[in-house]
């Protein structure tokens, strides 16, 4: 089962040019089955959307503000940290938030939120029936619609008297973008900046839980892992060390460059190592229509409290000097014996 899960994840993140690297089973058995399943999933989304659109399924309005935090792809998008962030913001502003989470995989996310928000006024509601869970909490603790009043009267980080009554002032839907049965006042979508949409396909063929057109519903889009996103797209072809390039290698490189140029609408820049250039500079001129950069390397000593570049240099000089002295002693000994 774990191997199957890994294969599906690999397919979901594979770009078109990477499909040829997948196993025979994945390409000719798994992908067709997943594609058919995705078509059924798309149909179910269409039917569900229209049932809500024409009023056959009704959306419920809660008596307090509802903030939804969700995403369009499975896992790894930073939803739970954003839910915690908003809960802290509301609590510190004098508004008691109710976090509604479904409780997947034994409720690990709910337990984490409870631990992190223990010292705040936030309440955690766990259950698949979000509307029913919300109704139970609102009836037990009561509710108060003082959202704008509390925000206007108090500065961030300063607790207020609004939370003293213990009544719920706002609801946060954890993973709420596809939970259409509750109306929301603010829709926040989290996007994984490293692999935003995977292969762009719907579940289970890809990671998308809805088509990308669903982004139009969002009021705020937050890029998760933004600090890990490079300014450039880096693609790579690996060859063995001391590899001598052949005509077939150049053809492979040119084909990859064409794919990149068509995908990103810019001319790629080629980077080769200095050793590659010295080994066969003539054949690399076959790529003269592209800009080719040669990557040179040099050693840099990373300092530590115990060792610096200066101390390392001093050690080398000492050992070299000692080696020279020992060598001279050996020469003198040999000469004396002679």
Q: What is the CATH number of domain 65-228?
A: 3.40.50
Residue range 261-283, pLDDT digits in tens: 888 888 999 998 888 888 877 77
CB contact at 8 A, 113 and 80: yes
Q: How far apart are CA 75 and CA 77, in angstroms?
A: 6
Between 222 and 279, the more confident residue is 222
Residue range 160-204, pLDDT digits in tens: 445 456 899 999 999 999 999 999 999 999 999 888 898 899 999
Q: How far apart are CA 141 and CA 123, in angstroms?
A: 10
pLDDT at residue 150, rounded to an integer: 62
Helix ranges (DSSP H) in 233-301: 247-264, 274-279, 281-284
Between 50 and 301, the more confident residue is 50
Residue for token digits 């064409």?
A: 258
Over residues 211-239, the mean pLDDT reads 87
pTM comes to: 0.68
- 16's tokens: 């078109």
Question: What interhelical angle do 79-92 and 108-116 show, nearest 10?
Answer: 30
CB contact at 8 A, 158 and 91: no
pLDDT at residue 146, rounded to an integer: 63
Average pLDDT over the chain, rounded to whole?
85
**Structural domain spans, the chain:** 65-228, 247-295, 300-338
């Amino acid at each position: 089962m774990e191997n199957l899960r890994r294969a599906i994840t690999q397919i979901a993140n594979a770009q078109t040019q990477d499909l040829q690297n997948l196993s025979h089973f994945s390409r000719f058995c798994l992908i067709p089955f997943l594609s058919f399943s995705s078509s059924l999933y798309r149909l179910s989304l269409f039917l569900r959307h229209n049932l809500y659109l024409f009023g056959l399924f009704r959306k419920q309005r809660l008596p307090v503000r509802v903030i939804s935090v969700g995403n369009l792809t499975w896992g790894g998008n930073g939803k739970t940290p954003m839910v915690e962030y908003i809960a802290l913001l509301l609590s510190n502003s004098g508004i008691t938030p109710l976090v509604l989470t479904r409780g997947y995989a034994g409720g690990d996310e709910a337990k984490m939120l409870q631990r992190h928000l223990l010292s705040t006024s936030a309440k955690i509601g766990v259950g698949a029936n979000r509307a029913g869970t919300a109704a139970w909490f609102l009836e037990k603790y009561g509710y108060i619609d003082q959202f704008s009043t509390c925000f206007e009267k108090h500065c961030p980080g300063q607790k207020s008297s609004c939370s003293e009554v213990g009544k719920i002032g706002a609801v946060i839907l954890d993973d709420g973008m596809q939970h259409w049965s509750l109306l929301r006042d603010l829709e926040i979508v989290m996007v994984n900046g490293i692999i935003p949409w995977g292969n762009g396909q719907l579940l289970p063929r890809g990671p998308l839980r809805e088509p990308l057109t669903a982004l139009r519903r969002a009021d705020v889009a937050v890029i998760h892992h933004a600090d890990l996103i490079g300014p450039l797209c880096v693609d790579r072809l690996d060859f063995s060390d001391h590899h001598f390039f052949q005509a077939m290698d150049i053809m492979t490189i040119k084909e990859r460059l064409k794919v990149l140029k068509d995908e990103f609408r810019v001319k790629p820049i080629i980077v080769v190592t200095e050793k590659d250039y010295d080994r066969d500079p003539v054949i690399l001129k076959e790529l003269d229509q592209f800009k080719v950069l040669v990557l040179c390397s040099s050693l840099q000593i990373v300092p530590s409290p115990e060792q610096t570049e200066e101390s390392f240099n001093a050690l080398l000089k000492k050992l070299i000097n000692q080696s020279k002295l020992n060598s001279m002693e050996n020469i003198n000994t040999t000469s004396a014996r002679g």
